[in-house]
Amino acid sequence: MNQQELGQKIRAEVLEAVKEKTGKRYVPAAASNRHVHLCQKDIDTLFGEGYQLTPVKPLSQPNQFAGKETLTLVGPKGKIEKIRVLGPARKETQVEISITDSFKLGIKPEIRMSGDTAGTPGGTLVSERASVELAQGVMVSARHLHLSGQQAAAFGLRDGQTVSLRSQGQRAVVFENVLVRSGDAHEMEVHLDVDEANAAGLKNGDILEIIE
């Protein structure tokens, strides 16, 4: 277990203990910046046959990492450079952007959960070596709450349930329609896009209360 994983474990155990003592449920937030998930076929095209993404930083979710690789996304009206590629490879390529990004790109913002790419806009991904035309897969990620199975049980929640979360401070808000994603591939953390986090004055690690 690395230092980041240990820190996450301790944080989750503290928040579970708070729930047991006070009945209140709190979860840490994270602002998810624009990023790309690639299928192996597109990795091969963009970086070379048989290429493997190079991890540079572990992410909060189990077995996921930020790679050293970056790409440019080109839309009808503009482009955004140096978008980070996250690993490992997935079954289907998708690009997660913010609504602000969509204005710059000239792409209609479509809010979806990760993996729900049918009917979403496309775009062009460009590396130093090649480019890939996406017929679909560019989306604004819907807000969601990751929990392990044990954490979900401790909080009385289930996979697929929607909850509301309340922030504190000068720009306090209630985030509604937050989808719970629970299972072995998940670890306690709320994922908001940068537009949402900035609007509420949130930074990574800030605590939100589950109010359902």
Token pair for 112: 């979806």
- Percent with pLDDT over 90 in the chain: 89
DSSP 169: S
- What DSSP string runs through 65-124? EEEEEEEEEE-SS-EEEEEEEEEEEESS-EEEE-HHHHHHHT----EE-TT--TT---EE
Which residues have CB under 8 Å from 128's CB, separation 6+? none
Q: Dihedrals φ, ψ of 9, to 5°?
A: -65, -45
Q: Tell me what pLDDT residue 59 has.
A: 94
- pLDDT tens across 147-177, in order? 999 999 999 999 999 999 999 999 999 999 9
Q: Tell me what pLDDT residue 8 has.
A: 82
- pLDDT tens across 126-155, in order? 999 999 999 999 999 999 999 999 999 999
Question: Stretch 179-205: mean pLDDT, rounded?
Answer: 96
Domain boundaries, the chain: 3-31+143-211, 33-141
Is 80 exceeded by the pLDDT of residue 1?
no
12-26, 56-70, 90-104, 185-199: which range is least confident on average?
12-26
Other beta carbons within 10 Å of 170: 6
Give the type of residue at 126: V
Q: Tell me what pLDDT residue 2 has.
A: 67
DSSP 135: S
- pLDDT tens across 35-87, in order? 999 999 999 999 999 999 999 999 999 999 999 999 999 999 999 999 999 99
Query: Does domain 3-31+143-211 bear CATH number 3.30.70.580?
Result: no
Give the residue among 67, 57, 60 at the shortest CA–CA distance from 37.
67
Q: Tell me what pLDDT residue 119 has.
A: 96
